[in-house]
Structure 1
Amino acid sequence: MHAIDFELEGDYVELNQLLKLAGLCDSGGAGKALVASGAVRVDGVVESRKTAKIRAGQVVVLGDAEVRVHAEAAT
């Protein structure tokens, strides 16, 4: 499995935007289509809400890619 660490800016990121920002799709619209197809899991459960709020500590899986969401590092 290909692991991607994603640093969250703010409290959450919408699922379709996370897929785009992590480089798993080309646009937010493509992210929405992936979610609608049932291909995306959040914390091991298929997620059907395209704009689900993903927060620090959650893990998103698409195919062989695993995105681990972390809180923004303190400066």
Structure 2
Amino acid sequence: MKEEKVILKTEFITLNQLLKLVGASSNGAEAKYMILDGKVKVNGEMEIRRGKKIHAGDYVEVAETIYRVE
């Protein structure tokens, strides 16, 4: 599994925004359906809330890639 680092410049980012930022989805609608279809995990747990706040120290797993947020 591939790992990538994501550096936050704010206190948090929403899960939906993070997926768009890292290029895992091309737009908000695609990100929404990825999340609702259970294709995204946050800290090892399936997450279905688009607005879930992602903070430094969290990791997001999608499509065989882990994004570590710092």
* TM-score, normalization by structure 2: 0.94
Q: Which 5+ residue runs of structure 2 have no aligned equivalent?
A: none
**Residue identity matched to 2:37:** S
| Residue in structure 1 matched with residue 21 of structure 2 by the alignment | 21
Q: What SS is found at the alignment partner of 1:35?
A: helix
Write the deviation string for residues 4-51 of structure 1: whole angstroms up to 9, x where unpaired.
Answer: 110112110010110110111101221111000011000000001011
Q: Tell me if 1:31 matches 2:39.
A: no
| Native 8 Å contact 1:16 1:29 kept in 2 | no
Rg: which structure is higher?
A: 1
CA distance in 2, matches of 1:28, 1:63: 17
Aligned-residue RMSD, C-alpha: 0.8
2:8, 2:64 → 1: CA distance?
21
Moved over 2 A (4+): none
Could you tell me which residue of structure 2 aligns to residue 40 of structure 1?
40
TM, length-normalised to structure 1? 0.88
Among all aligned residue pairs of Structure 1 and Structure 2, give the percentage whose two residues are the same amino acid: 36
Structure 1: gaps of 5 or more residues: 71-75
